[in-house]
Amino acid sequence: MSIKQNIEKIRADIPSGVTLVNVSKTQPIEKLWSAYEAGERVFGESRPRELESKYNELPKDIEWHMIGSLQTNKVKYIAPFVNLIHSVDSERLLEMINREALKCGRVIDVLLEIFVAQESTKHGWKGDELTSYLSSQRCRDLKGVRIRGVMGMASFTDDREQVRREFKELNSEFVALKERFFRGDDDKFDTLSMGMSGDFRIAIEQGSTMVRVGSSIFN
Protein backbone atom coordinates (compact mmCIF):
# COMPACT_ATOMS: atom_id res chain seq x y z
CA MET A 1 0.00 0.00 0.00
CA SER A 2 1.06 3.60 -0.51
CA ILE A 3 1.88 5.97 2.34
CA LYS A 4 -1.39 7.76 1.63
CA GLN A 5 -3.36 4.52 1.94
CA ASN A 6 -1.53 3.57 5.13
CA ILE A 7 -2.41 6.93 6.63
CA GLU A 8 -6.07 6.62 5.64
CA LYS A 9 -6.26 3.21 7.26
CA ILE A 10 -4.64 4.42 10.50
CA ARG A 11 -6.65 7.66 10.61
CA ALA A 12 -9.85 5.60 10.44
CA ASP A 13 -8.96 4.20 13.89
CA ILE A 14 -7.95 7.49 15.50
CA PRO A 15 -10.66 9.66 17.09
CA SER A 16 -10.57 13.38 16.32
CA GLY A 17 -9.26 14.37 19.78
CA VAL A 18 -6.14 12.23 19.41
CA THR A 19 -3.08 13.65 17.63
CA LEU A 20 -1.24 11.46 15.14
CA VAL A 21 2.53 11.95 15.18
CA ASN A 22 3.99 10.58 11.93
CA VAL A 23 7.24 9.02 13.09
CA SER A 24 9.54 9.70 10.15
CA LYS A 25 12.91 8.94 11.75
CA THR A 26 15.41 7.40 9.30
CA GLN A 27 12.94 7.91 6.42
CA PRO A 28 14.07 9.77 3.30
CA ILE A 29 12.59 13.19 2.65
CA GLU A 30 10.42 11.94 -0.28
CA LYS A 31 8.45 9.79 2.12
CA LEU A 32 7.81 12.76 4.38
CA TRP A 33 6.58 14.67 1.33
CA SER A 34 4.11 11.86 0.61
CA ALA A 35 2.72 12.07 4.14
CA TYR A 36 2.63 15.87 3.88
CA GLU A 37 0.70 15.66 0.62
CA ALA A 38 -1.73 13.26 2.29
CA GLY A 39 -2.46 16.09 4.74
CA GLU A 40 -0.18 15.19 7.66
CA ARG A 41 1.41 18.07 9.55
CA VAL A 42 2.93 16.51 12.69
CA PHE A 43 6.23 14.63 12.34
CA GLY A 44 8.35 12.88 14.96
CA GLU A 45 12.10 12.32 14.75
CA SER A 46 14.64 10.79 17.08
CA ARG A 47 17.93 12.38 16.05
CA PRO A 48 18.51 16.12 16.51
CA ARG A 49 20.66 16.70 13.41
CA GLU A 50 18.28 14.74 11.20
CA LEU A 51 15.35 16.66 12.65
CA GLU A 52 17.11 19.94 11.97
CA SER A 53 17.89 19.12 8.35
CA LYS A 54 14.37 17.87 7.62
CA TYR A 55 12.96 21.02 9.24
CA ASN A 56 15.13 23.10 6.91
CA GLU A 57 13.98 21.24 3.80
CA LEU A 58 10.24 20.93 4.38
CA PRO A 59 7.36 23.47 4.55
CA LYS A 60 7.11 25.61 7.66
CA ASP A 61 3.57 24.62 8.59
CA ILE A 62 4.87 21.29 9.92
CA GLU A 63 4.94 20.70 13.66
CA TRP A 64 8.15 18.90 14.67
CA HIS A 65 8.31 16.58 17.66
CA MET A 66 11.45 15.11 19.19
CA ILE A 67 10.57 11.62 20.38
CA GLY A 68 13.89 9.86 20.92
CA SER A 69 16.26 10.02 23.84
CA LEU A 70 18.01 13.36 23.73
CA GLN A 71 21.55 14.19 24.83
CA THR A 72 21.94 17.53 26.55
CA ASN A 73 24.67 18.70 24.16
CA LYS A 74 22.31 18.29 21.18
CA VAL A 75 19.37 20.32 22.47
CA LYS A 76 20.78 23.43 20.80
CA TYR A 77 20.16 22.04 17.29
CA ILE A 78 16.40 21.83 17.75
CA ALA A 79 15.64 24.50 20.36
CA PRO A 80 14.93 27.29 17.82
CA PHE A 81 11.94 25.53 16.25
CA VAL A 82 10.92 22.23 17.92
CA ASN A 83 7.24 22.10 18.96
CA LEU A 84 7.27 19.31 21.51
CA ILE A 85 9.98 17.20 23.16
CA HIS A 86 8.44 13.88 24.28
CA SER A 87 11.46 12.27 25.86
CA VAL A 88 12.41 14.33 28.91
CA ASP A 89 13.75 11.85 31.41
CA SER A 90 15.95 13.87 33.76
CA GLU A 91 16.28 17.16 35.55
CA ARG A 92 19.55 17.78 33.77
CA LEU A 93 17.87 17.55 30.37
CA LEU A 94 14.98 19.76 31.46
CA GLU A 95 17.46 22.41 32.61
CA MET A 96 19.32 22.30 29.33
CA ILE A 97 16.09 22.66 27.33
CA ASN A 98 15.18 25.60 29.56
CA ARG A 99 18.54 27.27 28.96
CA GLU A 100 18.44 26.81 25.18
CA ALA A 101 14.81 27.93 25.00
CA LEU A 102 15.56 31.15 26.86
CA LYS A 103 18.48 31.85 24.49
CA CYS A 104 16.01 31.67 21.59
CA GLY A 105 13.35 33.68 23.43
CA ARG A 106 11.03 30.68 23.40
CA VAL A 107 9.03 28.52 25.78
CA ILE A 108 9.39 24.88 24.70
CA ASP A 109 6.63 22.35 25.38
CA VAL A 110 7.84 19.08 26.84
CA LEU A 111 6.52 15.75 28.09
CA LEU A 112 7.93 13.80 31.01
CA GLU A 113 8.93 10.30 29.96
CA ILE A 114 7.69 7.80 32.50
CA PHE A 115 8.96 4.28 32.81
CA VAL A 116 6.35 1.52 33.09
CA ALA A 117 7.59 -1.26 30.78
CA GLN A 118 9.31 -4.42 31.92
CA GLU A 119 12.43 -3.89 29.82
CA SER A 120 15.16 -2.04 31.65
CA THR A 121 16.38 -0.48 28.40
CA LYS A 122 13.51 1.97 28.23
CA HIS A 123 14.20 5.44 29.52
CA GLY A 124 12.24 7.52 31.95
CA TRP A 125 12.02 8.96 35.44
CA LYS A 126 11.94 6.29 38.10
CA GLY A 127 10.24 6.01 41.46
CA ASP A 128 10.19 9.15 43.57
CA GLU A 129 12.68 11.04 41.41
CA LEU A 130 9.96 12.82 39.50
CA THR A 131 7.61 13.75 42.33
CA SER A 132 10.43 15.08 44.48
CA TYR A 133 11.63 17.17 41.56
CA LEU A 134 8.16 18.50 40.73
CA SER A 135 7.72 19.48 44.38
CA SER A 136 10.88 21.56 44.32
CA GLN A 137 11.35 25.27 43.78
CA ARG A 138 13.98 24.44 41.12
CA CYS A 139 11.22 23.14 38.90
CA ARG A 140 9.10 26.28 39.29
CA ASP A 141 12.08 28.43 38.35
CA LEU A 142 12.23 27.09 34.79
CA LYS A 143 10.65 29.75 32.60
CA GLY A 144 11.70 28.34 29.23
CA VAL A 145 9.77 25.09 29.41
CA ARG A 146 6.13 24.21 29.76
CA ILE A 147 5.37 20.70 30.96
CA ARG A 148 2.44 19.49 28.87
CA GLY A 149 2.07 15.91 30.07
CA VAL A 150 3.52 12.46 30.00
CA MET A 151 5.01 10.07 27.44
CA GLY A 152 5.56 6.36 27.81
CA MET A 153 6.08 3.07 26.08
CA ALA A 154 4.64 -0.32 26.83
CA SER A 155 6.76 -3.45 26.85
CA PHE A 156 7.51 -5.00 23.48
CA THR A 157 5.43 -8.14 23.90
CA ASP A 158 2.57 -10.08 22.30
CA ASP A 159 0.80 -10.13 25.65
CA ARG A 160 -1.91 -7.58 24.98
CA GLU A 161 -3.14 -7.71 28.57
CA GLN A 162 0.26 -6.64 29.81
CA VAL A 163 0.35 -3.79 27.29
CA ARG A 164 -3.13 -2.75 28.38
CA ARG A 165 -2.10 -2.78 32.06
CA GLU A 166 0.96 -0.68 31.35
CA PHE A 167 -1.00 1.93 29.41
CA LYS A 168 -3.56 2.01 32.19
CA GLU A 169 -0.76 2.63 34.66
CA LEU A 170 0.63 5.45 32.53
CA ASN A 171 -2.79 7.06 32.41
CA SER A 172 -3.12 6.82 36.21
CA GLU A 173 0.25 8.47 36.64
CA PHE A 174 -0.73 11.19 34.20
CA VAL A 175 -3.94 11.90 36.12
CA ALA A 176 -2.18 11.78 39.50
CA LEU A 177 0.55 14.22 38.41
CA LYS A 178 -2.03 16.57 36.96
CA GLU A 179 -4.02 16.59 40.22
CA ARG A 180 -1.00 17.05 42.38
CA PHE A 181 1.22 19.44 40.44
CA PHE A 182 -0.55 20.99 37.45
CA ARG A 183 -3.88 22.40 38.60
CA GLY A 184 -3.00 26.07 38.31
CA ASP A 185 -4.66 28.49 35.90
CA ASP A 186 -1.44 28.80 33.95
CA ASP A 187 -0.95 25.06 33.62
CA LYS A 188 -1.79 23.16 30.48
CA PHE A 189 -1.09 19.56 31.39
CA ASP A 190 -3.21 17.90 28.71
CA THR A 191 -1.09 15.44 26.73
CA LEU A 192 -0.70 11.71 27.23
CA SER A 193 1.62 10.41 24.50
CA MET A 194 1.38 6.63 24.26
CA GLY A 195 0.88 4.08 21.49
CA MET A 196 2.96 3.09 18.46
CA SER A 197 2.30 1.02 15.31
CA GLY A 198 1.74 -2.23 17.18
CA ASP A 199 -0.30 -0.96 20.10
CA PHE A 200 -1.86 2.43 19.37
CA ARG A 201 -5.41 1.07 19.37
CA ILE A 202 -4.96 -0.27 22.92
CA ALA A 203 -3.35 3.03 23.93
CA ILE A 204 -6.33 5.01 22.62
CA GLU A 205 -8.71 2.72 24.47
CA GLN A 206 -6.68 3.53 27.63
CA GLY A 207 -6.92 7.29 27.16
CA SER A 208 -4.00 8.26 24.92
CA THR A 209 -4.25 11.77 23.45
CA MET A 210 -1.25 11.41 21.13
CA VAL A 211 -0.01 8.35 19.23
CA ARG A 212 3.41 8.00 17.60
CA VAL A 213 3.17 5.81 14.52
CA GLY A 214 6.13 5.07 12.25
CA SER A 215 6.57 1.70 10.58
CA SER A 216 2.94 1.11 9.67
CA ILE A 217 2.89 4.45 7.82
CA PHE A 218 6.30 4.48 6.15
CA ASN A 219 7.42 0.86 5.72
CB of 211 to ligand PLP, least distance (A): 9
- Give the footprint of ligand PLP on residues 185-214 (CB under 6 A): 196-198, 212-214
Instruction: Confirm if 51 and 81 have CB atoms less than 8 A apart.
Output: no
Task: Give the residue from 35, 67, 69, 64 showing the smallest Cα distance to 52.
Answer: 64
Q: Rounded distance, CA 28 to CA 25, Å? A: 9
Task: Give the residue from 180, 168, 102 showing the smallest Cα distance to 141.
Answer: 102
What's the DSSP call for residue 161? H
Nearer to ligand PLP, 142 or 171 (CB): 171
Nearer to ligand PLP, 83 or 197 (CB): 197
CB of 53 to ligand PLP, least distance (A): 18
Q: Strand 145-151 relative to strand 108-113: parallel, antiparallel, unpaired?
A: parallel
Contact flags string 62-81 toward ligand PLP, x per CB under 6 A? -----xx-------------
Helix (H, G, I), strand (E, B) or coil at 76: helix
Q: Which residue is at the shortest CB distance from ligand PLP?
A: 214
Nearer to ligand PLP, 142 or 206 (CB): 206
Residues that bind ligand PLP (CB under 6 A): 23, 25, 46, 67-68, 196-198, 212-215
